[in-house]
A and B are shown apart, each in its own frame.
Chain A
Amino acid sequence: MGKITIEPLTRLEGHGKVTIKLDDSGKPTDVKLHITALRGFEQFVIGRPAEEVPRIVPRICGICQTAHHLASVKAVDAAWGAQIPSAAEKQRELMHIGNMIHSHALHFYYLAAPDFVLGPDADPAIRNVIGVIDAAPEVAKKAIALRRVGQSMVEATGGKAIHPVTAIPGGLSKSLSEEKRDELLAEIDTMIQYGQDGLDLMKSLNEKYLDTINTLGVIDTWYLGLVKDGKHNFYGDTLRFVSPDGSEKIDFKPADYLDYLAEHVVEHNYVKYPYNKKVGYPEGLYRVGPLAMINACDSMPTPLAEEARKEFAETFGRPANQSIAYNQARLIELLSACERAKELLEDPEIVSTDVKAEVEPKAGNGVGVVYAPRGTLFHNYETDDNGIVTKANMIVATTHNVPTMEKAIQQAAEVLFKDN
């Protein structure tokens, strides 16, 4: 019996390793994904004034910090019963969409594309974003531009591109200036075009890798996404579970999440294993992120992305269960985010200065949910009479996916080791 350890797991933006146990015939018998870091945010936000927490939790992730900033402030708004002005909602959503554009461009072009553009067998020393710059400079330039515009949207609305600060209970501490709005509008049509170019690149790669996509990491799981009136939605309204065969849909509101989600502690992982509570553990394990979002929604809310979704469903089925199809699903979302950004930037309220309502701290319990770039994100806080946090629960995007990533690696290992 042998054992294979893959460490560090790269391009994970965090800390992980994989261990694979093999039996005497070389068949993988036990595959474990270990997330090896723990920081303890649920403990150390306790005792902090609740309005400070949206300034603390962005450090959970430097890539999807905006999602944490916004899910957190939504939770505080909910706990204190704050009603925020509609202009503040729209400007917060633009901040969120900017983060989505940056992160999806990062994930596809900087993390995933080297394996496709340079090929999975290319020397690891060049199989990175610098290799992409050398091999396909036009692709790299588009990736850089998408990230720059996404980060500019976050900075213009959030005050800082990394770890934004403007979302406070009751709204925003500043509004988007007309000058910044005009700068962003001037580039948005080009970004929509780059979004389409990304999908075209992905489709050309599909021709080369479709067999791999349909073979490696193919698993049946539940899916959890975020919709509004059944349509795909980044900013959050209704959560939706879809069963592995697509026949069953369960819709619920963020405030009711305790009835639908639970988490299981396992000994080999700092991350807990979330599951669909109505189904139970481990049958109720589910996936989040672009693939789950595309599987969960009835349609995309923007026209070009909806066309791309239909094509995706024809290629991969519905629900699609191929883990590598996450990449194409991500690019559909990138295009949709660029389209949605244009709608928001053209809305006159996006530069309204009416962005802050008066709020009073009070004892309460609030849940805030958005779709972070890696998947649905939950923040839940309880506050005391002075608005100090007394209890916290967070289920962050990648956490939902860890158990099913483990299943996908197990499946891939079985396929890869079959012939050896």
Chain B
Amino acid sequence: MADKVRLGLIQLCGCSGCHISLLDLHEQLLDVLPHLDIVYAPIIADAKEIPECDVFLIEGGVRNEHDEHLVHEIREKSKVVIAWGSCAVYGGIPGLGNLYSSEQLKETVYGTVTTDNIGELPSDEIVPPLTDSVMPVPSIVDVEYVIPGCAPKPALNAAAIVALLEGREPELPKKIVCDECPRTKENVIPEKFKRTFEGKPDPDKCLFEQGYTCAGMGTRAGCGALCPSAGVPCRGCYGKTDEVLDQGSSLANTYAAAGDESLKIADKSALFNRFTLPSALISKKQK
């Protein structure tokens, strides 16, 4: 890598959270930024054309034809493309839209209780048409690296940037969230499952073993087990580990040990693939 990396940043079907996570380096930004030449970044700077870049961070997946076009353009102009954050890597929360057709999506959004001209829709001639489903960036073009997380922790972003500056490959944590979780485990399978608001969980014991629907055992480490530490179960935002094919299947495998009780859990498809549906083995609603 050159002394100063020519960096591009963009947000497609995402929320800007990954960009904010980069800014959440706070005072460390003053050490990182001098090494970067930010040549394209609609969120913070005014360049209109995508130039040739050394490294391009793409936040967000693809939800419309314009997003898809941009991903191809970025690939052509960049030496290294990174799918940045769980939306880009797996589809993320907007990927829950894949449980519905895009027509259904529009009918609902433009038919809410406050809408006064139900039946009218934005014109596909003027706004970019939606794609049939949300698509992760690696399903559209080859990428050199992925950085999962919703949002990736600032330290993970910094480590990736430093690795690239030093000519190394960025590395991702290999373990699962349970390995980082401070709660104690007794290797028991819960007899019943509870919803997050039910009862008061013991603050020191494993949430899954107390019957809360935690996804930590099927989720890549890296967050520091923030959610279980704050008293709520993991929802799997870092996606699967390298060892498995599909996050949802790997979670279902663990939950199956509880037998019929696990069948009673509400909304399993959007629980076990909360952030990864578009990259799951079955990635969208089948017609």
Contacts and interface: CB of A to CB of B under 8 A. Distances in A.
A382 to B, nearest CB: 9
A43 B105 CA distance: 6
Contact of B230 (A62, A106, A166, A392): A166
A62 B16 contact: yes
A265 interface: yes
A304 interface: no
A128 B116 CA distance: 40
Range for the number of chain A residues in contact with chain B: 35 or more
Given A11-B43, A133-B30, A268 B126 contact: yes
B151 A274 contact: no
B231 A162 contact: no
Contact of B63 (A37, A130, A272): A37
Interface residues of B, number: 77
Given A10-B42, A10-B46, A38-B106, A268 B123 contact: yes
A267 interface: yes
B235 A55 contact: yes
A169 B248 CA distance: 26
Interface in B96-122: 96-97, 99-100, 104-106, 108-110, 112-118, 120-122
A44 B123 contact: no
Interface stretch (B76-84, B136-144, B163-171, B193-201): B193-201
B127 interface: yes
Interface in A1-56: 6-15, 34, 36-40, 42-44, 46-49, 51-52, 55-56
B26 A144 contact: yes
Contacts, number: 244
Contacts of A414: none
A5 B38 CA distance: 24
A349 interface: no
B266 to A, nearest CB: 5
A76 to B, nearest CB: 9
A51 B197 contact: yes
A56 B96 CA distance: 10
B285 to A, nearest CB: 11
A34 B125 CA distance: 12
Contact of A62 (B118, B151, B200): B151
B239 to A, nearest CB: 15
Contacts of B196: 51-52, 168, 173
B220 interface: no
Interface stretch (B17-25, B175-183, B184-192, B253-261): B17-25
Interface stretch (A185-193, A256-264, A294-302): A256-264
A147 B26 contact: yes
A286 to B, nearest CB: 14
A413 interface: no
Contacts of B33: 130, 133
A43 B109 contact: yes
B62 to A, nearest CB: 11
Given A42-B108, A47-B99, A165-B227, A159 B26 contact: no
Contacts of A265: 110, 115, 117-118, 120-122
A47 B47 CA distance: 41
Given A127-B45, A133-B30, A38 B64 contact: yes
A107 to B, nearest CB: 11
Contact of A160 (B16, B39, B106, B227): B227
B44 interface: yes
A349 to B, nearest CB: 19
A232 interface: no
Contacts of B115: 262-265, 272
A171 to B, nearest CB: 9
A213 interface: no
B44 A165 contact: no
A38 B266 contact: no
Nearest to B20: A62
Interface string A67-94: 0000000000000000000000000000
Nearest to B130: A38
A262 B116 contact: yes
Contacts of B110: 265, 272
A44 B100 contact: yes
Given A128-B46, A265-B115, A270-B122, A48 B127 contact: no
10 contacts: A38-B106, A39-B13, A52-B196, A56-B93, A59-B15, A151-B26, A163-B17, A170-B197, A263-B114, A265-B118
The 8 closest A-B pairs by CB, nearest first: A62-B17, A159-B230, A173-B231, A40-B105, A124-B46, A62-B15, A128-B45, A59-B93
Interface of A: 6-15, 34, 36-40, 42-44, 46-49, 51-52, 55-56, 58-63, 65, 106, 110-111, 124-125, 127-130, 133, 140, 144-145, 147-148, 151, 158-163, 165-166, 168-170, 173-174, 257-258, 261-270, 272, 274, 281, 356, 359, 361, 380, 386-388, 391-393, 395
Given A133-B30, A148-B26, 15 more contacts: A10-B48, A13-B16, A14-B16, A34-B126, A43-B109, A48-B267, A59-B87, A62-B19, A63-B20, A124-B45, A124-B47, A166-B231, A258-B114, A391-B113, A393-B113
